[in-house]
Structure 1
Amino acid sequence: MVSLGGLARKLFGSSNDRRVKGYNTRVAAITALEPEMAALSDEALAAKTVEFREQIAAGKTLDDLLVPAFAVAREAARRVLGLRPFDVQLIGGMILHEKSIAEMKTGEGKTLVATLPVYLNALAGKGVHVVTVNDYLASRDSATMARIYGFLGLSTGVIVHGLTDDQRKAAYACDITYATNNELGFDYLRDNMKYERVQMVQRGHFFAIVDEVDSILVDEARTPLIISGPLDDRSELYTTIDAFIPMLDEADYEIDEKQRSASFSEDGTEKLENLLRDAGLLKGETLYDVENVAIVHHVNNALKAHKLFQRDKDYIVRGDEIVIIDEFTGRMMPGRRYSEGQHQALEAKEKVTIQPENQTLASITFQNYFRMYEKLGGMTGTASTEAEEFGNIYGLEVVEVPTNLPIQRIDDHDEVYRTTEEKFKAIVEEIRQAKERNQPVLVGTTSIEKSELLAALLKREGFTGFQVLNARYHEQEAYIVSQAGVPGAVTIATNMAGRGTDIQLGGNLDMRIEAELHDVEPGPERDQRETAIKAEVQVLKQKALAAGGLYVLATERHESRRIDNQLRGRSGRQGDPGRSKFYLSLQDDLMRIFGSERMDSMLQKLGLKEGEAIVHPWINKALERAQKKVEARNFDTRKNLLKYDDVLNDQRKVIFEQRIEMMDSEDVSETVADMRHEVIEDIVAKRIPEKAYAEQWDVEGLNNDVRETLNLDLPIAAWAAEEGIDENDIRERVLAAADQANSERAERFGPEIMRYVERSVVLQTLDHLWREHIVNLDHLRSVIGFRGYAQRDPLQEYKGEAFELFQALLTNLRQGVTAQLMRVELVRDAAQAPQPEPPEMFGHHIDAQTGEDEFADDRNVAVVAPENRDPTNPATWGRVSRNEACPCGSGKKYKHCHGAFEATEA
């Protein structure tokens, strides 16, 4: 029986079908312009860019120019690359231009699709960013597509790891900039730590197209980007707090070993407050006043260090350092440290040297970074399962673009085995059969460990010549994955390995030519060898087609349907035949978590023998439901992260806008004067309450405050003794004295130097307080969850306390700036004094899948100047860019010489 919804879809098509159909009119208009564009000379076609820009200056919108601009870009692609975008690719380009996500299957040419809206939007002159998942794809795509843009008179830049600020600024100044999501985010954070506007590298956030949009805006959005730097020495604080814990009794705290958490009881809190007050560490009345959020964090760490972390089980003391022991393997992990001050708490406990802690200097989530763009579009093969998230968080609609040719791939039902051993035995047998019929096989695994386990099994069974990839070496893996369509090839890969690379049956011709002929000069020999490679690839393609196309064999279901669809979608490109099948066992993580025990006993009752599999559509449905549950949980995690980051983001925007305003201002003296006057208002109001009698005034306190904050010695006691004087008179006199002292200083310095000093002091004080504020908010986040036990909403509590902390930041800013400027004295050559350098910085982004810091290795490998490298000793080379000339002096690029990847091949 067909539902009403199903009947309506049959009659009128789905909303997606109707939207796609709506583009046909413009597709026809673009195609109608084709003969006219083809008749133009190269110069006349390139001149269209200037013509379009003049039309924009005259008031036309980008939408008005879409049809002619797409027609020009299509013709340029045909002339430069020999590729004419299909009609469905034009539709994909329009979807991207309309701030939506184009879901296009693998092999449909998404990289080429992007050139159409990129060209159109670059005409606005505000810069277009094309975002990729790794440096290799950014370099590859920019190099290929820059030929089209260059032909049409537009400049292209690329941002990859290891560039200088000048190189970055030049790349961002181009009409089109290719970059990774991490580099864009870090550049934004670093820009907002600069002291001069000219030092900033980015020039705004107009339009971005995000490739692999689900990976960047969903998977990687589970963890924020962080820039950290070493903190001032706080060893004394750790030592002081550590000494308090042995003074507590068992009734003073509660330990939950299962949750690895520790908290203080009421008696313990009271005892701690007295100890902290005696040590001069407690601000306000109680430990849980908002000013003490950092102290609460440190005492909690100290309690955990003593009561939860066990020596020789969780860590060992080796020499003068604490070394973590991995809880799963039992191995030592030298170099790894607990974060958030926990490692320092352990060092204080064990009386070893306390190493400096890293402080978060700036952070942002990808959600909040990409929401800054005026226009955002994205493309991927798999987005529809996360359509709700894209709509809720980014306001992006997902539109499925039909394939250019019908999909011929056969998707088999899953095979479920009772044990992992049985499953892998079946997989090995299936690979053997595929290899015998010469069918190329891509084996997908969910982790590096599992890919290595399968490789070991294949070796034991006598297999040779297979490749094992694990998404760590993007450039080299791209080549190996590109050849996974060769008949009889067996490629084992994690689901993410080699993404962004087309698997063509018979092998990827362009990548073979690049790899095999990179050092052959153009000429008859190169032409001859190219012809031979083309002929060989054609023969191999026919063999692969005859064998049934690429066979995607997955060893496990991922927790996200989207990742499974990505893997499956690598087969059956552009109407090619193909096949996909998932092999599962009841011991797989997903099956184990979602009730496999019940299923196991049921299968035993049904008499399922060893080595037999159950295959049924119901199993697929049950698994899909389980995956939906995990996806919903992960979505909640990301939504929760965003809710908290939104609080910080609102404050971040205010601070960053203030910084830019200060950097742009020639003269901040009015702002500084307002700060000074507010500080004086606060000081006087605190010591002389409104309508208080003269005998109630705290004259001595006011005198001290004026001396400490304003660096002035004023006869306040004598003023207070005058007949008929009130608080307004005293305030006016203090204001006049402070303004007079400031004017004299400005006269001594000269106006130009005074402006420079004021701006520098404001920016440096703001940065220092903002860093402290971020740390306080981090600490607040770590303890705010406990408010839930008191039936209070932790998020609302966080918002309230974060606001109070922000108000305190503004008060401290006024006081800090005023106090410094009332004391500052001119040193010789101050006018030529260099701008303060930003602190030492490290980038961090934790991979949500593996828990590893993607930038951990980079911190240990410095960039070494070419003149300091010894060609004979690679240890002296430091970090070398993939496309740089190899330091050994061979004349080859590093990637083709010492940086060449030795793939694991059995």
Structure 2
Amino acid sequence: MLSNLIHTVNKAKYKKLADIVIEKTKDLNLLSDEDIKDAFLNTDEYLKKFAVLYVISERTLGLTPYHVQIMASLAMYDGYVLNMHTGEGKTLVGAMVAAMHASDGKEVTVATANEYLARRDSLSMKPLFESAGILSGYIEDRGETLQVRYSNLLSSCLMWLEDFIRVDMKNISHSSSVGSSGTVLIIDEIDYSLIELSSTPVAIVERVSSEVDVYNIFEAVKNAKSNATFFVFSESGEPRYSDEFYAYVEDYLVNILKMSTLDALYSNNYSIYISFVKCYTAVYGMKKDRDYVVSDDCVKRFDQRTGRTTRAGFEPALLEFLHQKELLPPPQKTSEIISCSLQHYVKSFEQIVGLSGTAMCNKLELNKTYGLKVFSVPPRIPSKLINRGYSLYKTDEEKVAACISYIQKKINSSQPVLVVCEDDMSAISYFNLVSEFTENVSLLISSNSEDDERSLINSAGENSRVTITTRMCARGTDIVVEHDEGLCLCVTAVGVTDVDDLQLNGRTARAGRRGEVSFFVSMQDSIFKGLKKDSIPYRNFLSLSQESIEFQNKELSSITTKPIRAFQSNRMKMYRENRSRVAVYEKPIEDQLIILKKKRLEIWNISAEQEYLTKMISKNITNELLSNHLHDVLLRYTEYHGDFNEKLKKMLGSQLTALWSVHNSKLKAYQRECTGIGAADVNKFKNNCKQAFEEFALNLNTNLLMSVMATMETELALISSTSGSFLDSRTTSQMADA
């Protein structure tokens, strides 16, 4: 009740302010382009600034902002997350707000759903920023300091993490890394980016050698048996191994392979046991084009919720077994140097705003986790979308037949159809079926390039055209439709959550145009696999199944929507709990990044390098003999190197990264120990992290000093052609004691 009142008040407020902005544009239309730029840069009146941007948009982009776009821009500038319908012009709104914050002297990052959209929006909005006197570009653009930069959120987070391990201040990607204030993050599809992606930590890695006996374990798994009873499903439909599976693995390793006794299995050979389970998952539990795809001699993870693929996401050992399964070259084994969750990165900004077509669905979690409030922007034009609901069938065969019948009817009436499949494997299957009765069909899956995607999207609105894809197709892109009845969306599987399905609605009926969406669901879909066949929920769903393949019972499809939504809500709850668990186990590690940042800033800002190191020796080394020796090494090194100051900063920076990498590995080992099979001890993990942090902080300066001095010694030994190190065994022993 209160929230509705607040929304009504805000809507009236921003409607009135938008009227004022549009009224102010009348006095600006006669100004020259240069005067317009001056008016934007030299006024403190924010409503006038919005009016200037209105005029600039008309002149440079050929886009006259709608009244609701001005309302949306004003609300976002005030700090609201926008719930804004697809096709209402979110890209322009984000650019206008970015320009406003940049003119206030803030550094603005605009994060989009993928790299393609980041490049596209950066290029398309550049004339607006240039005419307003603001430097903008894609995040990888170098050579000048950008006031507004466009990026994919994951890429931006990685570049921020790289700032923590840079040896100098050159090419710093985020001003906050050097202590600057005034940073703003604008996120497109903010609910998906901040909530759904937050459960996957982002990491920077380095190459290391593999310790897994991939070939022999793979051969052992190939000779083991596969059994359907080894897999069970949770209530949410997630696959899990059964107790029968673990009993089989123990028996197979001990009695068949004669590996060890059962008592020893979980001690000396525990790593073999874990590797066997991971390999079994790769061989029998995962399917190509469903769980992963192969591209460029590399296995990539497939995300059913977005239809996108990524190189990240697979645990290294699992990735090695997948490569072995697909007869690919071994993947590069990596070790993590530094990591954080997206949540931690996002909270490094002083202000977070964003927009999405489904933000209202996640407004409670956005508020609880990030303190964000959502403003629902009134639609410019009422939606003409016809949602046919969920047509439920008993078997996959019936569902597929119904989909094909639906597609045939639509192309017979010349309407274009976008078929959205669960994964690449399903999309290929539907493509083959549709190809039997029409040549006017296209396949858009993860293996297509950006150019392919752009071309196929451009043709997807042609009459009688069938485009078969996953949920990746046309995200954030207008499909221009020729037919008066608009684009038909045929979705062949229910989404994991209601947000996943609501986002699909935005693929058609954009900006007041006509369109239709129909969901086709089978009782054999993964979302129902956790239901027992004798359970009441299963029987209730079964009672809603369609009787005819040729004709949809539209009333029954509409009724089915409510229980499907309830089922999706339960899955959403489980995902939310999983995100909370991830946050609990990532936060103790992320909190320690502050000492790395503090020390990095200290090194970057050293002005008297030799004096800095001299003080470090005097402060941290109490052994007189060792102290004198280190002073001598420092003196000799400065004599040999005229560029000592620059070299010292680089040495300190690289050694700090190396020390952090070792410390991070220790923290991750604690994390694996406390979240492994049969274990989940948060307090133990926190205590371990605390002790490790205290030890790291206590010894950081000494360890950093000794690492740098050892590097200097090695170089001096090479330069002077001595036979050994400057430190004899006695000094080395004293150094260790110190």
Q: Pairwise mapping of residues 427-466 of structure 1 onto structure 2 (< 5 A)?
A: 427-460=403-436, 462-466=437-441
For 2:574, give the aligned amino acid: R
C-alpha distance in 1, partners of 2:396/2:441? 22
Match of 1:418 in 2: 394
Shift in alpha-carbon separation, 1:768–1:603, aligned structure 2, 3 A = closer
- State the percentage of identical aligned residues: 22
Match of 2:195 in 1: 218
Query: Aligned Cα RMSD in Å?
Result: 3.9
Residue 300 (str. 1) matches residue 274 (str. 2): no
Of 187, 190, 207, 1:230 maps to 207
SS at match of 2:653: helix
SS at match of 2:104: coil
For 1:466, give the aligned amino acid: V
For 2:146, give the aligned amino acid: C
**Is the deviation greater in 614-623 or in 752-761?**
752-761
Match of 1:530 in 2: none
Shift in alpha-carbon separation, 1:775–1:745, aligned structure 2, 3 A = closer
Question: Offset at 1:674?
Answer: 6.9
C-alpha distance in 2, partners of 1:651/1:557? 41
Shift in alpha-carbon separation, 1:747–1:464, aligned structure 2, 3 A = closer
C-alpha distance in 1, partners of 2:545/2:100? 64
C-alpha distance in 2, partners of 1:187/1:34? 39
C-alpha distance in 1, partners of 2:666/2:709? 28
C-alpha distance in 2, partners of 1:379/1:488? 33
C-alpha distance in 2, partners of 1:583/1:607? 11
Question: Offset at 1:450?
Answer: 1.8
For 1:382, give the aligned amino acid: T
Of 571, 575, 581, 1:634 maps to 575
Of 12, 15, 19, 1:28 maps to 19
Q: Pairwise mapping of residues 772-811 of structure 1 onto structure 2 (< 5 A)?
A: 772-785=662-675, 794-811=681-698
Shift in alpha-carbon separation, 1:817–1:773, aligned structure 2, 3 A = closer
Match of 1:653 in 2: 594
SS at match of 1:178: strand
Asked whether the equivalents of residues 394 and 542 of structure 2 are also in contact (C-alpha less than 8 Å), the reply is: no
Q: Which runs of 5+ in 1 are unaligned?
A: 56-64, 161-167, 240-254, 264-295, 316-323, 347-353, 507-543, 682-733, 832-906
Match of 2:30 in 1: 39
C-alpha distance in 2, partners of 1:755/1:761? 10
Question: Offset at 1:146?
Answer: 0.6
Shift in alpha-carbon separation, 1:779–1:430, aligned structure 2, 3 A = same
Question: Offset at 1:137?
Answer: 1.4
Asked whether the equivalents of residues 676 and 814 of structure 1 are also in contact (C-alpha less than 8 Å), the reply is: no
C-alpha distance in 2, partners of 1:336/1:345? 10
Match of 1:568 in 2: 505
C-alpha distance in 1, partners of 2:545/2:91? 51
Match of 1:847 in 2: none
Match of 2:232 in 1: none
C-alpha distance in 2, partners of 1:261/1:387? 46
For 1:647, give the aligned amino acid: P
Of 351, 354, 373, 1:375 maps to 351
Q: Pairwise mapping of residues 322-333 of structure 1 onto structure 2 (< 5 A)?
A: 325=283, 327-328=285-286
For 1:764, give the aligned amino acid: S
C-alpha distance in 2, partners of 1:186/1:260? 41
Question: Offset at 1:668?
Answer: 6.0
Asked whether the equivalents of residues 112 and 188 of structure 2 are also in contact (C-alpha less than 8 Å), the reply is: yes
Of 439, 443, 468, 1:468 maps to 443
Asked whether the equivalents of residues 383 and 398 of structure 1 are also in contact (C-alpha less than 8 Å), the reply is: yes
C-alpha distance in 1, partners of 2:317/2:403? 47
Of 81, 84, 109, 2:89 maps to 109
Q: Pairwise mapping of residues 349-360 of structure 1 onto structure 2 (< 5 A)?
A: 357-360=333-336
Match of 1:93 in 2: 73
Question: Offset at 1:678?
Answer: 6.7
SS at match of 2:562: helix
C-alpha distance in 2, partners of 1:780/1:297? 17
C-alpha distance in 2, partners of 1:617/1:489? 27
Q: Pairwise mapping of residues 344-743 of structure 1 onto structure 2 (< 5 A)?
A: 357-460=333-436, 462-471=437-446, 472-506=448-482, 544-545=483-484, 548-594=485-531, 598=535, 609=547, 611=549, 615=556, 617-667=558-608, 676=617, 734-735=623-624, 737-743=625-631
C-alpha distance in 1, partners of 2:516/2:277? 51
* Deviations 1:314-354 (CA, angstroms, capped at 9, x unpaired): 49xxxxxxxx74545699999769845689999xxxxxxx9
SS at match of 1:431: helix
Asked whether the equivalents of residues 445 and 495 of structure 1 are also in contact (C-alpha less than 8 Å), the reply is: yes
C-alpha distance in 2, partners of 1:651/1:606? 53
Question: Offset at 1:796?
Answer: 1.9
Question: Offset at 1:813?
Answer: 2.9
Asked whether the equivalents of residues 83 and 374 of structure 2 are also in contact (C-alpha less than 8 Å), the reply is: yes
Asked whether the equivalents of residues 221 and 366 of structure 1 are also in contact (C-alpha less than 8 Å), the reply is: yes
Shift in alpha-carbon separation, 1:335–1:91, aligned structure 2, 3 A = closer
**Is the deviation greater in 555-564 or in 754-763?**
754-763
Shift in alpha-carbon separation, 1:453–1:672, aligned structure 2, 3 A = same
Question: Offset at 1:22?
Answer: 2.1
Asked whether the equivalents of residues 196 and 663 of structure 1 are also in contact (C-alpha less than 8 Å), the reply is: yes
Match of 1:687 in 2: none
Shift in alpha-carbon separation, 1:111–1:595, aligned structure 2, 3 A = farther
For 1:625, give the aligned amino acid: A
Shift in alpha-carbon separation, 1:159–1:401, aligned structure 2, 3 A = same
Asked whether the equivalents of residues 136 and 475 of structure 1 are also in contact (C-alpha less than 8 Å), the reply is: no
SS at match of 1:396: coil
Match of 2:661 in 1: 771
For 1:452, give the aligned amino acid: I
Question: Offset at 1:97?
Answer: 1.7
SS at match of 1:208: strand
Question: Offset at 1:208?
Answer: 1.8
* Deviations 1:882-904 (CA, angstroms, capped at 9, x unpaired): xxxxxxxxxxxxxxxxxxxxxxx
Aligned length: 642
C-alpha distance in 1, partners of 2:355/2:477? 14
Question: Based on CA coordinates, which of the two structures has the bigger radius of gyration?
Answer: 1
Question: Offset at 1:359?
Answer: 1.0
For 2:199, give the aligned amino acid: R
* Deviations 1:726-758 (CA, angstroms, capped at 9, x unpaired): xxxxxxxx45x5554444445444598765565
C-alpha distance in 2, partners of 1:235/1:562? 40
Residue 124 (str. 1) matches residue 104 (str. 2): yes
For 1:454, give the aligned amino acid: Y
C-alpha distance in 2, partners of 1:256/1:668? 61
Asked whether the equivalents of residues 344 and 355 of structure 1 are also in contact (C-alpha less than 8 Å), the reply is: yes
Shift in alpha-carbon separation, 1:809–1:797, aligned structure 2, 3 A = same
Shift in alpha-carbon separation, 1:199–1:141, aligned structure 2, 3 A = closer
Question: Offset at 1:152?
Answer: 2.2
Question: Offset at 1:91?
Answer: 1.6
Shift in alpha-carbon separation, 1:303–1:739, aligned structure 2, 3 A = same
Shift in alpha-carbon separation, 1:393–1:671, aligned structure 2, 3 A = farther
For 2:691, give the aligned amino acid: E
SS at match of 1:170: coil
Shift in alpha-carbon separation, 1:187–1:830, aligned structure 2, 3 A = farther
For 1:464, give the aligned amino acid: E
Match of 1:282 in 2: none
C-alpha distance in 2, partners of 1:336/1:71? 50
For 2:655, give the aligned amino acid: T
* Deviations 1:223-255 (CA, angstroms, capped at 9, x unpaired): 12222112378799xx9xxxxxxxxxxxxxxx9
For 1:470, give the aligned amino acid: I
C-alpha distance in 2, partners of 1:745/1:174? 43
Asked whether the equivalents of residues 417 and 487 of structure 2 are also in contact (C-alpha less than 8 Å), the reply is: yes
C-alpha distance in 2, partners of 1:389/1:375? 17
Asked whether the equivalents of residues 58 and 64 of structure 2 are also in contact (C-alpha less than 8 Å), the reply is: yes
C-alpha distance in 2, partners of 1:554/1:303? 41
